Structure 1
Amino acid sequence: MTRNSFTRPALLFALSGALLLTSCKKNNDVNPATGSTGTSVTSPTSTSQGVNDWILANMQYYYLWNDKIPANPDKTLGPKEFFNSLLYDITNTANVNRDRFSWIRESAEELKASLGGQSKTTGIQYRLYYKDQSKTNLIGSVLYVLPGSPAVAAGFKRGDIFTSVNGQILTLSNYAELLAADALTFGMASLVNGVLTENVQKRQVTPVVFQEDPVLLDTTYTIGGKTVGYVVYNQFIPGVYNGSSTDKTFDNKLDNIFSKFKQKGVNELVLDLRYNPGGYVSSSTNLASLIGRNIDASKVFYAQQWNATVTADNDKKYGSGWNTQKFSAKAANIGGNLSRLFVLTSNSTASASELIINGLRPFMTVTTIGTTTVGKNVGSITISDDTGQIKWGMQPLTFRSANAQGFSDYATGFAPTVEVKEPSTGMKPFGDLTEPLLSEAIYQISGTRTTTRRGVANAAVLVDVASSIDQKAGGGNMFLEKSGELLK
């Protein structure tokens, strides 16, 4: 295939953590020229051999570790297995800088839609835990429910607990298949005096193709002479997916929210990113530009560090600065009223969310509350075949990100400034001032506790197994690492 046969990739902060499309037009113009061997990229065919040739040519040019690709990879493998065979040090859990986040999907169209927040879903976002110390059965705890989704109509809400699906108790071996069914009947449970109790209640939900609105809640509080803004933001999506990233509905929604914050004199901000695995870099830049103190369109939000091949080509084509993303000038920016930012985090906070933390720290104090983030300091691009001959789409890592001070070393995640563990069950609604993470943020702001003790930092928390957040496109970890094992 010629270089023009590839779609112009949009840059993403790759997934477990999540994926982020860049708004930088220069980077969107990057096209493959030759592989690292100097051979021309060939025309694709729909056979596995043809798909693998297409995968290899792109990886040899774009992949962050293109100098680590095996010299003679096994092209007899299926495309997914072949792609994985090219990834750098993927199974070496001792190497925190290995490739944990590149991924491939059989349908490029489904990949693009999921990055835009559109997927087939019940609307339930959940986390699975071992039910008890025997580590035999699992329970599911509902983290949040997408407004307007089938789950809302079925009566689901944050904090609900389920133990079975379609009549089968959840276990480590069956949960993936059961939760992917075309129709689901959930067996519910409840906490009675702190004891998990099965009940006879069943809830039926049928997944549908659904567009997520990433802004789950925004509100303000007046506490101790402070006006506190609070936003729950669950994925960096610019707008309603329509086959491209041109719609800006959700970016505009955030602009309007911050415009209201500015009118109300908000002088403290709590940004809830605990379930945000990442998304479009353009939306991350937009949000950071609404928050940053003493920033303008001349200040650097973050920079990309590509492989030597792409860097040399783009240096010649664009000159210096092509890999630097600056803040945007925003009329709704409230940074002039802020001296600090509070970010609520968890082990599902990744990618574009971590970019907010890292990118704003050179300009203001960023206090994180919760648990350690994923550690996704790398980005990726969406690559697909615009001739239509190859249906696959892939999301290989292509760059590291660094803030205005050049800091990029957060592959182990951002440890919380204040550790507060969210309870496994019995979670309070978002915006409730007694909800542990928000409560701690209010205490840090006002010095007044809204609960009798500090969060649940020392409370017993069940051992988590997996989360639907991690399976979102651009999610925190397509490879769930538990007990040193890699689980698809």
Structure 2
Amino acid sequence: MKQHVVNNSQKDFFNQFFKPALAWLLVAGCIASLASCKKTTDVVAPQTTTSTSDNQTVDSWILANMREVYYWNSTISANPDTTLTPDVFFDSILNKYNATTNPTGDRFSWIENDATTLTAELSGQTTTTGMDYNLYLRASGSTDVIAQVLYVLPGSPAQKAGLKRGDIISKVNGQSLTTTNYSDLLFTGTTFTFGLASVSGSSIVDSNQTVTVTETVFQENPVFLDSVYTIGNKTVGYLVYNQFVPGANGSTANEYDAQVDAVFSSFKAKGVNELVLDLRYNPGGYTSSSANLASLIGKGISSSNLYFREEWNATITPELQKQYGSSFFVTNFLDKAQNIGSSLSRVFVLTTDHTASASELIINGLRPYMTVTTIGTTTYGKNVGSITITDNTGKIKWGMQPIVFKSYNNAGQSDYSTGFTPNVEVEEPINLLPLGDTNEPLLNEALYQISGSTANGRRAAAVRNPLLLMGSSIQRKAGAHSMIRTLKNLKL
């Protein structure tokens, strides 16, 4: 990660060009809602007491920054209505995506009314029960909903309450989940009594079991699980990595990156010659952590090789070029002693539609250097990033994340806006096995692709999930679908 030290002339430039709005700058992505991209209403509290003059102050701040840095800044109208509430105003000036009329438009820019909370969430610190889940219609044509647990964080309230991957929640606080109430029941309040259900044949059957969980402020460690499997003459390293975060909120030690380094140091010592990288639930994060991980995997790479480059809008590009030179737009690999690329000819990446942004950056960034085989389902499709902008005067509490750049790999490729279609399609079934279990379908398929057999000699049968997916709690996480690049020392 390059250190961008800002001298006086650079400070003058940023004060003049970005206005006094930037207290710090992050290259980031969007947080998606359950349906697609997170709408402003998902994260912004109702503004019931905001005056027109207050709106104009915030909206003018939004507009000044958006005219400079927004990737589609040329589409902003000449005289937008600055009397609107900030969330509505921000939405009104976006170059909105439309599958038919504007397929290359903006699906990801968003705004939030509490920037302080946002910075913590981007580092994995949230108020949470400590689990993520998918939401499904309980049956075809039904309005009933279930939530199925995808993973539970070690040490979290959910884990302490006994919840585990695969558990099915059909009720909250005694009420059955439906298409009209699931959002209020699951995302409002701090203490939840979950009524559990199970799969019986092709049906979901309620049980009498309940589990009560109270949310707490919890720091998620993205390094979820690592294992090594020996299959014939293959030594397979396996890593479940759930978010690209260098360290805990407020930490400068980059302890999570160091933990990833330690995993690969162990892989190297154990002679790992095949790698399965499980990014199925990884919605993105910091590009510095993405570069760190890629640098541990890449074959024949060094700090002289490009990992990815950024394309910004035509207004700001020449100014950034003038102030910082071409290196501003380039992220190279790192020289890592723990790199196992010399022992690899390929890497297998496990994917779902939760695999986004900085995760997709791994796939795209490594492909010019080695074979990357994806197993699972189609990834989310996000090849653009945004910057988080806050007001360093403290007068404006809002934070916004407008899209500001598009990413390209060393081969000039950025053609995954609709996601990466898997090389081998495997869908997660309704009966979920623990992550790391060699019978778990995605891992099992990777082991089969590697050696023609699996650790237990059996290939998992392909079983499709019959339920209709409605969304996921993963898409509500701050940092979801994100590429976050920290520019050091931009305290204005």
Q: TM-score surpassing 0.5? A: yes
- Tell me the residue number matched to 1:468: 473
Distance in 1, matches of 2:59 and 2:289, equals 33
Distance in 2, matches of 1:255 and 1:265, equals 15
* 3-state SS of paired residue (1:461): coil
- Tell me the residue number matched to 1:186: 194
Structure 1 pair 330–198 and aligned structure 2 pair: CA distance change class (3 A): same
Determine which of 220, 229, 233 is the counterpart of 1:225. Answer: 233
Contact 1:300 1:404 in 2 (8 A): yes
What's the CA shift string for 1:109-160, capped at 9, x where partnerless?
1111111101111011000000001231101100001111100111100000
* 3-state SS of paired residue (1:309): coil
- Tell me the residue number matched to 1:133: 140
- Tell me the residue number matched to 1:9: 25
1:215 and 2:223 matched: yes
Determine which of 385, 388, 411 is the counterpart of 2:391. Answer: 385
Determine which of 200, 209, 222 is the counterpart of 2:208. Answer: 200
Determine which of 446, 471, 482 is the counterpart of 2:451. Answer: 446
- Tell me the residue number matched to 1:306: 312
Report 1:66-77 matches (<5 A).
Answer: 66-77=73-84
What's the CA shift string for 1:296-338, capped at 9, x where partnerless?
0000000000001110101111222320100010010000100
- Tell me the residue number matched to 1:427: 432
Moved more, 393-402 or 320-329: 320-329
- Tell me the residue number matched to 2:179: 172
Moved more, 442-451 or 110-119: 442-451
Report 1:2-401 matches (<5 A).
Answer: 3-16=19-32, 47-92=54-99, 95-180=102-187, 181-242=189-250, 246-401=252-407
- Tell me the residue number matched to 1:406: 412
What's the CA shift string for 1:214-261, capped at 9, x where partnerless?
01100100002100000000000000101xx62301000000000000
* 3-state SS of paired residue (1:342): strand
Shift of 1:49: 1.3
Contact 1:241 1:247 in 2 (8 A): no
Contact 2:283 2:358 in 1 (8 A): yes
Moved more, 459-468 or 144-153: 459-468
Contact 1:362 1:405 in 2 (8 A): yes
What's the CA shift string for 1:21-66, capped at 9, x where partnerless?
xxxxxxxxxxxxxxxxxxxxxxxx9912111111111111110000
Counterpart AA for 1:360: L
Distance in 2, matches of 1:282 and 1:15, equals 19
Contact 2:376 2:426 in 1 (8 A): yes
Shift of 1:12: 2.2
Contact 1:15 1:278 in 2 (8 A): no
TM-score, structure 2 normalization: 0.87
Counterpart AA for 1:183: T
Counterpart AA for 2:179: L
Distance in 2, matches of 1:460 and 1:386, equals 48
* 3-state SS of paired residue (1:384): coil
Moved more, 174-183 or 302-311: 174-183
* 3-state SS of paired residue (1:70): coil
Instruction: Note the aligned Cα RMSD (angstroms).
Output: 1.8
What's the CA shift string for 1:423-465, capped at 9, x where partnerless?
1x22000100000000000000010155755552x52431111
Distance in 2, matches of 1:215 and 1:348, equals 17
Counterpart AA for 1:241: N
* 3-state SS of paired residue (1:359): helix
Contact 1:437 1:455 in 2 (8 A): no
Contact 1:69 1:86 in 2 (8 A): yes
Distance in 1, matches of 2:276 and 2:198, equals 30
Distance in 2, matches of 1:176 and 1:48, equals 29
| Number of equivalenced pairs | 446
Structure 1 pair 268–96 and aligned structure 2 pair: CA distance change class (3 A): farther
Structure 1 pair 453–269 and aligned structure 2 pair: CA distance change class (3 A): closer
Moved more, 253-262 or 92-101: 92-101
TM-score, structure 1 normalization: 0.88
Structure 1 pair 185–72 and aligned structure 2 pair: CA distance change class (3 A): same
Counterpart AA for 2:120: A
* 3-state SS of paired residue (1:100): coil
Structure 1 pair 267–77 and aligned structure 2 pair: CA distance change class (3 A): same
Structure 1 pair 455–359 and aligned structure 2 pair: CA distance change class (3 A): farther
Contact 1:46 1:389 in 2 (8 A): no
Counterpart AA for 2:139: D
Distance in 2, matches of 1:168 and 1:356, equals 42
Structure 1 pair 76–297 and aligned structure 2 pair: CA distance change class (3 A): same
- Tell me the residue number matched to 1:484: none
- Tell me the residue number matched to 1:30: none
Moved more, 350-359 or 246-255: 246-255
Gaps (5+ residues) in structure 1?
18-44, 478-488
Contact 2:358 2:481 in 1 (8 A): no
* 3-state SS of paired residue (2:315): helix
Contact 2:21 2:389 in 1 (8 A): no
Structure 1 pair 215–94 and aligned structure 2 pair: CA distance change class (3 A): farther
Distance in 2, matches of 1:328 and 1:153, equals 39
Gaps (5+ residues) in structure 2?
1-14, 34-51, 483-492
Contact 1:16 1:277 in 2 (8 A): no
Counterpart AA for 1:350: A
Shift of 1:13: 4.2
Shift of 1:95: 3.7
